[in-house]
């Protein structure tokens, strides 16, 4: 049965093959297995693509249909949309069609005006954005520059030094970032600022403020350091009113020949005389003090301690048992030239022409010999005294004739003050600066920070001395407060721009003059503790009350605003508004009576940073009700439809708004009508939504009917539409 079936099948196949070969029109195609497989794959891919596309269409139809969309009209709506982004001019019409031409011209004029207005609006927006970005970047750049330390030659060295500390580095535990020394400075600084404020308002005279300056100067590096006559120059400057003149340019110091030199200042000489007094009264038995009170007897007693036995090499005899040149030198060192002349008169037969030279030196107000006499002294020194064995004689001749500046006189100048006094007799400040080449390497500044600071300070290089001391972290507070005292005395040469390095030289300044970036110095110092000790930081910022930044903004206002925004200590710094509308004073009241400009400035900064709630409170504190309601409208508008939940954002803002409304109504505080009406309308809308969410539909309907915001019947449609145009954006977006 199976064989017959296969035979029949074979017969049919042969028949079909014969019929196919017999048709001449059809070409005979022979395919191998690979070609047959490829053809099958192509047919299969076509079927799958068509099937998947149909499946995707079905799924999309089901999804859109479940959302209630009319699928049949979607393609028509999409085709009706236009992707044109600009207004296209209308097609021109024939000139004979007058009505069409006029209509087309009118439409073109309107479209042109709209397009021009759009371009102008976008250009203005881009310009405002660019200016805002430039101002913001400038502020960020200044903040970065104040944070980073100076680069180049003024870069700060953070390497640890082996020099022992002069102060205790232990700090009390707590949230404060200030250590014991810095906190002590802050307290002293507070006293000084109170004096400055009282002087400004006439409650304190300048002499009392000067005493506080002396107290701050004495605390800068300790009493022992002041005793070695470093910062006493600050105090001594109080003797010269020219330094304190408000109209004096500090650069004039380098051009006025009548200003005192280091040797002419009475305070450093008086301190050395006090040093001899201490030595004498501390060793009365050895000093053998007696005779007529005066410098001469004091020096005699001092030499009994300084030179208890005869020193070989001293020349020209003695006066009352003491070397004559030693007596002359120490009388001059104590600042008493008449006492030195007394010694010269007693030994004049041993000194030759020196008496006449010394008298000329004494009677010259600039303490300088005439050129002819000076040449004689120098010639005599080169011929007879250069290699003299008496160090006191060589030192005295070098003072009179300015001889041999290379001689350090180490036998008699064993302290830096003596060294500077010998090296720079009555030279003016420019000469002192230019004639002092030794630098940090000469004095081993890394190992002897205080010594090199004294050298710079005593040679009137105040700015360089402060910048050098500021390099070391543990000495930074001392440097800052030295700068504060000099700043108050108007003796600090400041940089003209805040972007300058900590220590810089500007075009037009004398070659040896350097300027200190005082603003950067203060901001670098306060950066450490302004977040934890804003009260103390504010005291330091007050020194910047007369400084301006590159935008002409007051630095005190700018620093206060940044400090308040970053620390969020609004109530402590700016004060607090009581329930009765009165203002509780803050720390800022310590520095000024009129606090409104400062509070308005902080509020403006907070508003520009998007802190609308804080800005509204600050404007309320500054008695600026229009800005308060304007910001409250912006805050209330996004939340009026939200459900009121305790402690939520809406609940807080609603309570704040009701408090403001009640207080303004109770005290009769008036604002502009548009802002006021918008504010109270938003409060009514909040009440409407609260009633709605609470399920009180009738009450909510009564509120919306009373507000007359939406037409509840056909006859009020036109009226409500006309009124809609008068609503602000905060209200209209909810209608």
Tell me the three state secondary structure of residue 382: helix
Same domain, 551 and 589: yes
Question: Which carries the bigger pLDDT value, residue 437 or residue 69?
Answer: 69
| Domain presence at residue 24 | no
Q: Which region among 206-210, 675-679, 707-711 has the lowest average model confidence (pLDDT)?
A: 206-210
Query: Is residue 26 pLDDT above 70, yes or no?
Result: no
Q: What is the pLDDT of residue 425?
A: 52
Dist. CA 405–CA 393, nearest whole Å: 15
Domain residue limits at 677: 638-735
Dist. CA 545–CA 654, nearest whole Å: 39
Average pLDDT over residues 221-250: 44
Dist. CA 524–CA 69, nearest whole Å: 65
Q: Which region among 163-167, 311-315, 592-596 has the lowest average model confidence (pLDDT)?
A: 163-167
Reference 684, options 631, 731, 618; nearest CA is 731
Tell me the three state secondary structure of residue 88: coil
Give the contacts of 634 (CB within 8 A, at least 6 positions apart): 612, 730
| Domain presence at residue 489 | no
The number of CA neighbours under 13 Å toward the Cβ of 460 is 29
Average pLDDT over residues 354-361: 90
Contact 388, 368 (CB under 8 A): no
Query: Is residue 445 pLDDT above 70, yes or no?
Result: no
Q: What is the pLDDT of residue 211?
A: 54
Same domain, 661 and 592: no
Dist. CA 299–CA 363, nearest whole Å: 23
Burial of residue 553, with CB atoms counted within 10 A of its CB: 0-12 exposed, 13-18 middle, 19 or more buried: middle
Distances 561 to 178, 553, 591 between C-alpha atoms, Å = 22, 12, 15
| Domain presence at residue 465 | no
| Domain presence at residue 588 | yes
Count of domains observed in the chain:
2
Q: What is the pLDDT of residue 80?
A: 67
The beta-carbon contacts of 389-392 under 8 Å, at least 24 apart in sequence, are: 389/312, 389/313, 389/314, 389/315, 390/313, 390/314, 390/315, 390/316, 390/323, 390/325, 391/313, 392/314, 392/323, 392/325, 392/326, 392/328, 392/329
For residue 711, what are its two tokens? 């037409």
Q: Give 7-19 as a DSSP string.
A: HHHHHHHHHHHHH
Dihedral of the alpha carbons of 270, 271, 274, 280, in degrees to the nearest 10: -120
Query: Is residue 523 pLDDT above 60, yes or no?
Result: yes
Q: Give 520-538 as a DSSP string.
A: HHHHHHHTTTTTT-HHHHH
pLDDT band at 194 (very low <50, low <70, confident <90, very high): confident
Dist. CA 65–CA 425, nearest whole Å: 103
Q: What is the pLDDT of residue 4?
A: 65
Query: Is residue 442 pLDDT above 60, yes or no?
Result: yes
Same domain, 593 and 649: no
Query: Is residue 398 pLDDT above 80, yes or no?
Result: yes
In this predicted model, what pLDDT tens digit does every residue of 472-482 receive, in sequence order?
888 888 888 88
Q: What is the pLDDT of residue 162?
A: 40
pLDDT band at 440 (very low <50, low <70, confident <90, very high): low
Dist. CA 541–CA 534, nearest whole Å: 10
In this predicted model, what pLDDT tens digit does every residue of 533-580 receive, in sequence order?
888 888 899 888 888 887 788 888 888 888 888 888 888 888 888 877
Question: Which carries the bigger pLDDT value, residue 225 or residue 441?
Answer: 441
Query: Is residue 151 pLDDT above 60, yes or no?
Result: no
> Which residue, 596, 623, 650, sits at the end of a domain?
623
Question: Which carries the bigger pLDDT value, residue 513 or residue 31?
Answer: 513
| Domain presence at residue 728 | yes
Dist. CA 668–CA 679, nearest whole Å: 16
Same domain, 653 and 727: yes
Same domain, 604 and 663: no
Same domain, 583 and 670: no
Dist. CA 641–CA 363, nearest whole Å: 93
Find the length of the chain: 735
Q: Mapped to the 3 state alphabet, what secondary structure does 24-56 carry? A: CCCCCCCCCHHHHHHHHHHHHHHHHHHHHHHHH
| Average model confidence (pLDDT) across the chain | 75
- For residues 653-679, one letter each, b for 16 or more C-beta atoms within 10 angstroms of the residue's C-beta and e for the rest, the string is bbebbeebbebbeeeebebeeebbbbb
pLDDT band at 201 (very low <50, low <70, confident <90, very high): very low
Reference 373, options 387, 359, 386; nearest CA is 359
Query: Is residue 119 pLDDT above 60, yes or no?
Result: yes
pLDDT band at 427 (very low <50, low <70, confident <90, very high): very low
| Domain presence at residue 368 | no
Burial of residue 137, with CB atoms counted within 10 A of its CB: 0-12 exposed, 13-18 middle, 19 or more buried: exposed
Give the contacts of 434 (CB within 8 A, at least 6 positions apart): 511, 512
Same domain, 642 and 618: no
Paired residues of 504 in beta bridges: 515
| Cα-only R_g, the chain | 46
pLDDT band at 56 (very low <50, low <70, confident <90, very high): confident
Distances 116 to 84, 123, 184 between C-alpha atoms, Å = 17, 10, 65
Query: Is residue 467 pLDDT above 80, yes or no?
Result: yes
> Which residue, 623, 647, 662, sits at the end of a domain?
623
Reference 230, options 215, 240, 218, 216; nearest CA is 218
Q: What is the pLDDT of residue 534?
A: 87
Most confident among 4-18, 80-94, 172-186, 211-225 (mean pLDDT): 4-18
Q: What is the pTM of this model?
A: 0.63
Most confident among 162-171, 192-201, 245-254 (mean pLDDT): 192-201
Reference 240, options 271, 219, 264; nearest CA is 264
pLDDT band at 431 (very low <50, low <70, confident <90, very high): very low
In this predicted model, what pLDDT tens digit does every residue of 283-300 receive, in sequence order?
888 888 877 888 888 888
Same domain, 583 and 662: no
Q: What is the pLDDT of residue 155?
A: 42
Same domain, 733 and 660: yes
Q: Which region among 45-54, 114-123, 338-347, 422-431 has the lowest average model confidence (pLDDT)?
A: 422-431
Same domain, 653 and 695: yes
Percent of the chain with pLDDT over 90: 0
Dihedral sign computed on CA atoms, order 172, 480, 526, 589 = positive
Q: Which region among 49-53, 113-117, 208-212, 443-447 has the lowest average model confidence (pLDDT)?
A: 208-212
In this predicted model, what pLDDT tens digit does every residue of 319-334 receive, in sequence order?
888 889 989 988 988 8
Q: What is the pLDDT of residue 438?
A: 57
Q: Which region among 39-48, 361-370, 436-445 has the lowest average model confidence (pLDDT)?
A: 436-445
Same domain, 647 and 732: yes
Q: What is the pLDDT of residue 706?
A: 81
Distances 505 to 464, 495, 502, 534, 659 between C-alpha atoms, Å = 11, 8, 10, 33, 57
Same domain, 580 and 657: no
The number of CA neighbours under 13 Å toward the Cβ of 63 is 6
Q: Within 10 A of 371 (CB to CB), how many other CB atoms are there?
A: 8
Distances 563 to 94, 194, 325 between C-alpha atoms, Å = 71, 21, 62
DSSP state of 601: H
| Domain presence at residue 393 | no
> Which residue, 559, 588, 623, sits at the end of a domain?
623
Question: Which carries the bigger pLDDT value, residue 429 or residue 251?
Answer: 251
| Domain presence at residue 519 | no
Distances 609 to 452, 492, 601, 615, 635 between C-alpha atoms, Å = 46, 36, 13, 9, 14
Percent of the chain with pLDDT over 70: 73
Query: Is residue 642 pLDDT above 60, yes or no?
Result: yes
Average pLDDT over residues 77-106: 66
């Amino acid at each position: 049965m199976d064989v017959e079936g296969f035979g029949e099948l074979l017969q049919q196949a042969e028949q079909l093959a014969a019929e196919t070969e017999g048709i001449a029109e059809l070409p005979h195609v022979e395919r191998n297995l690979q070609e047959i497989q490829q053809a099958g794959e192509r047919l299969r891919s076509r079927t799958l693509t068509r099937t998947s596309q149909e499946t995707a269409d079905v799924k999309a139809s089901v999804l859109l249909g479940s959302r209630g969309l009319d699928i049949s009209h979607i393609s028509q709506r999409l085709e009706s949309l236009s992707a044109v982004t600009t207004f296209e001019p209308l097609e021109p019409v024939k000139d004979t069609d007058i009505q069409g031409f006029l209509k087309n011209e009118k439409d073109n004029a309107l479209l042109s005006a709209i397009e021009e207005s759009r371009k102008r609006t976008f250009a203005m927006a881009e310009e405002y954005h660019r200016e805002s970005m430039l101002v913001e970047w400038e502020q960020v750049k200044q903040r970065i520059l104040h944070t980073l330390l100076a680069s180049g030659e003024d870069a700060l060295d953070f390497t640890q030094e082996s020099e022992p500390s002069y102060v205790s580095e232990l700090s009390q535990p707590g949230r404060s970032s200030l250590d014991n020394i810095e906190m002590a400075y802050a307290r002293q600084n507070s006293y000084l600022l109170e004096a400055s404020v009282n002087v400004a308002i006439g409650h304190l005279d300048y002499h009392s403020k000067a005493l506080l300056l002396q107290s701050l100067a004495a605390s800068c590096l300790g009493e022992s350091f002041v005793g070695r006559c470093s910062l006493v120059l600050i105090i001594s400057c109080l003797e010269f009113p020219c330094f304190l003149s408000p109209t004096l340019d500090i650069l004039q110091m380098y051009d006025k020949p009548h200003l005192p030199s280091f040797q002419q200042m009475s305070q450093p000489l008086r301190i050395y005389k006090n040093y001899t007094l201490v030595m004498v009264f501390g060793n009365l038995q050895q000093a053998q003090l007696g005779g007529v009170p005066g410098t001469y007897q004091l020096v005699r007693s001092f030499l009994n301690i300084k030179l208890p036995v005869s020193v070989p090499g001293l020349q020209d005899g003695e006066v009352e048992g003491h070397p004559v040149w030693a007596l002359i030198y120490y009388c001059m060192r104590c600042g008493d030239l008449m006492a030195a002349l007394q010694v010269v008169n007693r030994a004049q037969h041993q000194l030759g022409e020196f008496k006449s030279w010394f008298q000329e030196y004494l009677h010259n107000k600039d303490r300088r010999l005439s050129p002819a006499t000076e040449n004689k002294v120098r010639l005599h020194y080169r011929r007879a005294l250069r290699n003299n064995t008496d160090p006191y004689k060589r030192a005295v001749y070098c003072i009179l004739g300015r001889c041999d500046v290379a001689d350090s006189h180490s036998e008699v100048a064993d302290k830096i003050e003596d060294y500077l006094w010998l090296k720079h007799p009555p030279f003016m400040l420019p000469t002192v600066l230019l004639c002092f080449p030794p630098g940090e390497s000469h004095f081993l500044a890394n190992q002897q920070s205080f010594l090199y600071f004294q050298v710079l300070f005593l040679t009137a290089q105040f700015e360089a001395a402060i910048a050098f001391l500021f390099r070391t972290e543990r000495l930074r507070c001392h440097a800052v407060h030295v700068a504060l005292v000099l700043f108050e005395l108007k003796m600090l040469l400041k940089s003209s721009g805040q972007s300058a390095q900590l220590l810089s030289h500007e075009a037009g300044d004398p070659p040896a003059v350097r300027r200190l970036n005082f603003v950067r110095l203060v901001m670098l110092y306060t950066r450490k503790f302004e977040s934890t000790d804003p009260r103390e930081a504010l005291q330091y910022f007050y020194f910047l009350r007369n400084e301006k930044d590159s935008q002409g903004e007051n630095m005190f206002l700018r620093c206060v605003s940044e400090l308040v925004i970053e620390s969020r200590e609004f109530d402590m710094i700016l004060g607090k508004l009581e329930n009765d509308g009165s203002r509780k004073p803050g720390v800022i009241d310590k520095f000024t009576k009129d606090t409104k400009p400062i509070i308005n400035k902080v509020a403006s900064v907070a508003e520009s940073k998007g802190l609308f709630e804080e800005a509204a409170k600050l404007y309320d504190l500054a008695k600026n009700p229009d800005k308060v309601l304007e910001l409250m409208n912006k805050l209330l508008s996004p939340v009026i439809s939200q459900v009121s939940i305790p402690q939520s954002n809406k609940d807080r803002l609603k309570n704040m708004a009701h408090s403001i409304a009640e207080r303004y109504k109770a005290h009769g505080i008036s604002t502009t009508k548009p802002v006021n009406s918008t504010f109270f309308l938003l409060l009514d809308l909040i009440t409407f939504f609260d009633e709605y969410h609470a399920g009180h539909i009738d009450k909510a309907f009564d509120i919306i009917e009373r507000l007359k915001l939406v037409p509840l019947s056909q006859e009020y449609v036109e009226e409500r539409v006309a009124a809609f145009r008068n609503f602000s954006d905060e209200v209209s977006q909810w209608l």
